[in-house]
């Protein structure tokens, strides 16, 4: 008969110790790329690229994989600069002028919007992009996860543009865009609504509405019809309008407006939290206070 071994009998169990250091596998917390996105450093995809380039350090050690969780108590640095914990979600309307690019830096040395934004503005990222010569409303936020959610096609936010285009066009020709088009290079655009506003000499003002927002979509769609766009202004992104915001100006959207306009489209946890009502301190009646003093 073989002996039966019994394990863990009358033996004190030691508490499970979690490994420490930047290579630990956190059971709590959130993925580092998501944390950086929520902190407004970059989008989640861009944050993963930063990690691959060795630009992210946790507690002094270079992070080698995006499969890592943080709780926010660590010393997290990107290119040597400390990352602050995520603050209350904020969004701004910005009237982007023509001639600026929507990136943090440019190899060709062109001016970026981030070089022109007010210095008092905290670290922000853009919700979508506008190309070099396109002007109009551009939304900024300090929350990369919110930016990602608002950019997704399933959110269905319609972008409104006013385009000035050179050439001859009829409303019937513009209506052909409603069924979608395929460009010569194979690029496919879904339904685009275009309305001829007026003709001014050899130019036309056209109102365009679309929900995809692919790179240079308005320009390429109108060029497909034989027009040459020489000015393009985005007047609305989803529920947010350019209105009378002057070029280069920035205006914050209130938390209340964000919740009321986005709650139908965006997960609640990505929106600003409602301020907790202040508790009023109840004062005892005057007679009671006098009675207390006598005692």
Q: Which has more confidence, 7 or 212?
A: 212
In this predicted structure, what is the pLDDT of residue 28? Answer: 65
Do the domain assignments include residue 51? yes
Same domain, residue pair 219 and 177: yes
CATH of the domain at 189: 3.30.70.1560
Same domain, residue pair 148 and 117: yes
What is d(CA 85, CA 271) in angstroms, rounded to the nearest whole number?
16
Same domain, residue pair 165 and 233: yes
Three-state DSSP class for residue 254: coil
What is d(CA 231, CA 247) in angstroms, rounded to the nearest whole number?
14
CATH of the domain at 54: 3.10.290.10
pLDDT digits (tens, 9 = 90+) for 167-199: 999 999 999 999 999 998 889 999 999 999 999
Do the domain assignments include residue 21? no
Of 194, 215, 237, the position where a domain reaches its end is 237
Same domain, residue pair 117 and 252: yes
Q: How many domains does the chain have?
A: 3
Same domain, residue pair 169 and 222: yes
Same domain, residue pair 126 and 95: yes
* pLDDT-based confidence at residue 283 (cuts at 50, 70, 90): low
What is d(CA 257, CA 271) in angstroms, rounded to the nearest whole number?
10
Catalytic residue numbers read 131
pLDDT digits (tens, 9 = 90+) for 217-273: 999 999 999 999 999 999 999 999 999 999 999 999 999 999 999 999 999 988 988
Same domain, residue pair 134 and 118: yes
Q: Is the pTM of this model over 0.75?
A: no
Same domain, residue pair 259 and 123: yes
174 lies in which domain range?
158-237
Do the domain assignments include residue 190? yes
Do the domain assignments include residue 211? yes
Q: Are 137 and 93 in contact (CB under 8 A)?
A: yes
Q: Are 138 and 130 in contact (CB under 8 A)?
A: yes
Q: Element (H or E) spanning 96, and its range?
A: strand 91-96
CATH of the domain at 251: 3.30.70.580
């Amino acid at each position: 008969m073989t002996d039966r071994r019994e394990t863990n009998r009358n033996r004190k169990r030691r508490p499970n110790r979690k490994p420490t250091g930047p290579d630990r596998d956190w059971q709590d917390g959130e993925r580092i790329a998501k944390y950086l996105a929520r902190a407004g450093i970059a989008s989640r995809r861009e944050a993963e690229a930063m990690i691959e380039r060795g630009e992210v350090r946790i507690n002094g050690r270079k992070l080698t994989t995006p499969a890592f969780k943080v709780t926010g108590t660590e010393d997290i640095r990107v290119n040597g600069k400390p990352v602050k914990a995520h603050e209350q979600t904020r969004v701004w309307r910005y009237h982007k002028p023509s001639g600026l690019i929507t990136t943090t830096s440019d190899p060709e040395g062109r001016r970026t919007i981030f070089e022109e934004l007010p210095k008092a503005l905290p670290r922000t990222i853009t919700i979508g992009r506008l190309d070099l010569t396109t002007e109009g409303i551009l939304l900024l936020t300090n929350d990369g996860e919110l930016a990602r959610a608002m950019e997704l096609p399933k959110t269905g936010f319609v972008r409104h543009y006013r385009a000035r285009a050179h050439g001859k066009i009829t409303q019937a020709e513009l209506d052909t865009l409603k069924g979608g088009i395929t460009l010569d290079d194979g690029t496919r655009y879904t339904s685009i609504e275009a309305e001829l506003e007026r003709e001014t000499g050899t130019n036309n003002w056209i109102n365009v509405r679309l929900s995809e927002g692919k790179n240079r979509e308005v320009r390429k769609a109108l060029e497909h019809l034989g027009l040459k766009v020489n000015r393009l202004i985005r007047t609305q992104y989803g529920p947010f309008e350019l209105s009378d915001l002057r070029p280069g100006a920035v205006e914050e959207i209130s938390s209340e407006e964000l919740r009321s306009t986005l709650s139908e489209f965006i997960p609640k946890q990505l929106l600003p939290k409602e301020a907790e009502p202040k508790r009023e301190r109840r004062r005892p009646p005057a007679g009671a206070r006098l009675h207390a003093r006598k005692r």
